[in-house]
C-alpha cells in the first residue's frame, strides 16, 4: 500500500514497515487553517493500532539495539540528505496544515536536517565513562544502553522539528519508536516518516500512529511494553501523562508551556529591540513555547517603545502562509482562536487596555480561515492572568518596571521558566541578567525564540520535569547507564573492604 491514495487524499499509519489504515477503518479530516480546504483523511486510530505498533517496535528492537551505532548514524545521514532534497515540498505541506509562513516552515524542516546530521555524528561517540578502580588489576567503566520502545508524542506547532528532536536522539541511542503526531498536523508526520522509510530504516524501528490523545496518546503512555515517553504539549495533559507513567515507574520527559519575557532597559538599542519583539511575539502567530508574551520595559523608554511597536504592528500583513506577502498566518484552529479571544475580556476585566488588535480578523479571504489580529495589551500588572497564563497566540502584554532588579523579579515570578531575553548596552547589566534570570534559555540582545539543536532545550518550574531535549541532554534521557567491572587480578577483591 502506498503512502496515500491521491484520488481520495487518503493517508495511512506506518506500522512494521507498511502503510496501513486504522484497524476499524475510521478516519478524520485534515483542513488548512487559512482557508478551510481539505488536505486529506488520516487514520483515527485506537488501542488495537497502538498495540500493533508497539509490538512491531518491540520486535524490531532486538536487532536495532545490536546494530552498531555508527551504522545507525549512516541511516540518519541519509535522512538528513533526503530532508534537504525534499525541504521545499515538506515545508509547503507544513504551511498548508499548520499555518506558519513558508520561510518559517522551511526553518522547521531545517531543524530536522540539523538534528539528523548532529545525531548521526553522535553514532560515533555516544560517550560513556572510563574511571580508575580503587583496586589493583581491575577495570571500571560505564556504557550507555538503549531503553527499549519509546513513545514520542508531539505538538502541532513544530510538526517536523520536534518529532525530529525526539525520534533521532532515541534512534541513534538504539531505541525503537512509536510516533504519535498532533491531530492537527498528521500530513507533516507522514512526510517525515516517508523520509525515514526511504532512507532505509528497518521495518518496525519507527512507527507512526495517527489519532487523538485519549485514543492513541494515553494508551501509548500506559502500554506495558513502552519503556519511556517523550511528550511535548500543554501543562494539563503533561500532568496526566506524568501521573499515568508514574504508575508503572516509567521514564518520562515533559516539555510544556512557557510565559516568556523580553526585558528592555533604558539603554537598549530600540531598533534592535523592536525587531526582536516583533519576531518573538508574532512569529509563528505567537504559537511557540518560546514566544514572547510579556514585554517588561523600563519606565524611561516604555512610552516610546510602545508607540513604535504599535506602528510596526500596524504594518503586519495577515494571510495564507504560502503567500509571499504574508507576515502572520492563521492560528491552528477555531477553538484556539476563540480561546485567545476569551483572554481579551479577562484583560480588560483586570484593568489592562487593548492598544491594538483584540479581535479575530474576518475581512475578505481571512473570513475563511482562523486568523487573529496581532494584539498589544497595555497597563498590565505582573499578577494579572494575562501576565501569568499561557495564551499561545499573537498577544503581547506590556509591563512597566523601574529597575533591573524589578525586571528580573517580574520575569521570574511566573509558573513557567523556558526562555528569557534582555536588551541592554551595559555589559554589567547583561552579566547580572544572565546569572539571575531563572529560565532554561537566556538571550542577550536577541528575542526569546531561535534555539539551536546542539544545546539542551528545556526550562524550569512548570515548563517541564527537568529533562532536556536536543544536544547531549537528549541522549541522557534516551539511554541507561551500565557500570562494568573487569577484575583481572586472579583473586577475589572486595570493593570498600580490601
If DSSP codes are grouped into helix, strand and coil, which group holds residue 465? Answer: coil
Residue of 205, 249, 241 lying closest to 221 (CA atoms): 241
| 8 Å CB contact between 394 and 281 | yes
Instruction: Catalytic residue, from 289, 292, 400, 469: name it.
Output: 289
Report the first-to-last Cα separation within the chain, whole angstroms.
Answer: 65
Residue of 42, 55, 39 lying closest to 13 (CA atoms): 42
- For the chain, the maximum distance between any two Cα atoms, rounded to a whole number of angstroms, is 85
Q: 138-146 and 129-131 as β-strands: parallel, antiparallel, unpaired?
A: antiparallel
How many CB atoms are located within 10 Å of the residue 145 CB?
Answer: 15
| 8 Å CB contact between 350 and 384 | yes
| 8 Å CB contact between 31 and 44 | no
Residue 145 parent element (H or E): strand 138-146
If DSSP codes are grouped into helix, strand and coil, which group holds residue 366? Answer: helix
Cα separation, 434 vs 277, whole angstroms: 19
Cα separation, 195 vs 179, whole angstroms: 14
Strand partners, 251: 228
Instruction: Catalytic residue, from 255, 390, 400, 469: name it.
Output: 255
Strand partners, 152: 179, 230
Q: What is the CA radius of gyration of the chain?
A: 24
| 8 Å CB contact between 391 and 286 | yes
| 8 Å CB contact between 445 and 269 | yes
Cα separation, 275 vs 277, whole angstroms: 6
User: Is 215 assigned a catalytic role?
Assistant: no
Contacts of 110 by beta carbon, 8 Å cutoff, 6+ apart = 87
DSSP result, 263-307: EE-TTS-HHHHHHHHHHHHHGGGG-STT-EEEEEEEHHHHHHHHH
Contacts of 107 by beta carbon, 8 Å cutoff, 6+ apart = none
Number of alpha helices (DSSP H) and beta strands (DSSP E) in the chain: 14, 23
Give the HSE-up count for residue 344: Cα atoms under 13 Å, Cβ half-sphere: 19
Query: For residues 336-370, b (16+ Cβ closer than 10 Å) or e, as one string?
Result: bbeebbebbeebeebebebbbbbebbeeeebebbb
User: Is 255 assigned a catalytic role?
Assistant: yes
The CA-based dihedral angle spanning residues 460, 462, 465, 469, taken in that order and rounded to the nearest 10 degrees? -60
Cα separation, 223 vs 247, whole angstroms: 11
Residues designated catalytic: 255, 289
Amino acid at each position: 500500500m502506498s503512502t496515500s491514495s491521491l484520488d481520495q487524499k487518503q493517508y495511512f499509519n506506518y506500522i512494521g514497515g507498511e502503510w496501513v489504515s486504522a484497524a476499524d477503518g475510521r478516519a478524520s479530516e485534515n483542513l488548512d487553517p487559512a482557508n478551510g480546504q481539505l488536505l486529506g483523511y488520516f487514520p483515527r486510530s485506537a488501542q488495537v493500532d497502538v498495540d500493533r505498533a508497539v509490538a512491531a517496535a518491540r520486535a524490531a528492537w532486538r536487532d536495532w539495539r545490536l546494530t552498531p551505532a555508527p551504522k545507525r548514524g549512516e541511516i540518519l545521514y541519509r535522512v538528513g540528505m533526503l530532508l534537504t532534497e525534499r525541504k521545499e515540498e515538506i515545508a509547503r505541506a507544513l504551511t498548508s496544515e499548520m499555518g506558519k509562513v513558508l520561510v518559517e516552515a522551511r526553518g522547521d524542516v531545517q531543524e530536522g536536517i540539523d538534528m539528523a546530521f548532529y545525531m548521526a555524528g553522535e553514532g560515533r561517540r555516544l560517550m560513556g565513562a572510563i574511571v580508575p578502580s580503587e583496586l589493583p588489576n581491575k577495570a571500571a567503566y560505564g556504557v550507555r544502553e538503549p531503553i527499549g520502545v519509546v513513545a514520542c508524542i508531539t505538538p502541532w506547532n513544530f510538526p517536523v522539528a520536534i518529532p525530529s528532536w525526539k525520534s533521532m536522539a532515541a534512534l541513534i541511542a538504539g531505541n525503537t519508536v512509536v510516533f504519535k503526531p498532533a491531530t492537527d498536523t498528521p500530513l507533516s508526520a507522514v512526510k517525515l516518516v516517508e523520509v525515514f522509510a526511504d532512507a532505509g530504516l528497518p521495518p518496525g524501528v519507527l512507527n507512526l500512529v495517527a489519532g487523538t490523545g485519549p485514543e492513541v496518546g494515553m494508551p501509548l503512555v500506559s502500554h506495558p511494553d513502552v519503556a519511556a515517553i517523550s511528550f511535548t504539549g500543554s501543562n494539563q495533559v503533561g500532568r496526566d501523562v506524568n501521573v499515568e507513567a508514574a504508575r508503572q515507574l516509567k521514564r518520562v520527559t515533559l516539555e510544556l508551556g512557557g510565559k516568556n519575557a523580553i526585558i528592555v532597559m533604558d539603554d537598549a538599542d530600540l531598533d534592535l529591540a523592536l525587531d526582536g519583539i516583533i519576531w518573538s511575539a508574532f512569529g509563528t502567530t505567537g504559537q511557540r513555547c518560546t514566544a514572547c508574551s510579556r514585554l517588561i520595559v523600563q519606565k524611561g523608554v516604555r512610552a516610546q517603545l510602545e508607540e513604535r511597536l504599535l506602528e510596526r504592528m500596524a504594518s503586519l500583513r495577515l494571510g495564507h502562509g504560502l503567500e509571499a506577502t504574508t507576515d502572520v498566518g492563521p492560528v491552528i484552529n477555531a477553538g484556539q482562536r476563540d480561546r485567545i479571544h476569551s483572554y481579551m475580556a479577562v484583560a480588560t476585566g483586570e484593568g489592562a487596555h487593548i492598544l491594538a488588535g483584540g479581535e479575530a480578523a474576518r475581512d475578505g479571504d481571512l473570513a475563511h480561515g482562523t486568523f487573529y489580529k496581532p494584539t498589544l495589551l497595555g497597563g498590565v500588572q505582573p499578577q494579572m492572568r494575562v501576565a501569568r497564563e499561557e495564551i499561545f497566540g499573537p498577544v503581547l502584554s506590556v509591563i512597566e518596571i523601574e529597575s533591573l532588579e524589578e525586571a528580573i523579579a517580574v520575569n521570574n515570578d511566573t509558573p513557567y521558566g523556558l526562555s528569557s531575553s534582555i536588551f541592554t548596552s551595559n555589559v554589567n547589566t547583561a552579566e547580572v541578567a544572565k546569572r539571575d534570570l531563572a529560565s532554561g534559555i537566556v538571550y542577550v540582545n536577541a528575542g526569546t525564540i531561535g534555539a539551536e539543536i546542539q544545546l539542551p532545550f528545556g526550562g524550569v518550574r512548570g515548563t517541564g520535569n527537568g529533562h532536556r531535549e536536543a544536544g547531549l541532554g537528549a541522549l541522557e534521557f534516551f539511554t541507561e547507564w551500565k557500570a562494568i567491572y573487569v577484575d583481572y587480578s586472579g583473586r577475589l577483591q572486595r570493593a570498600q573492604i580490601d
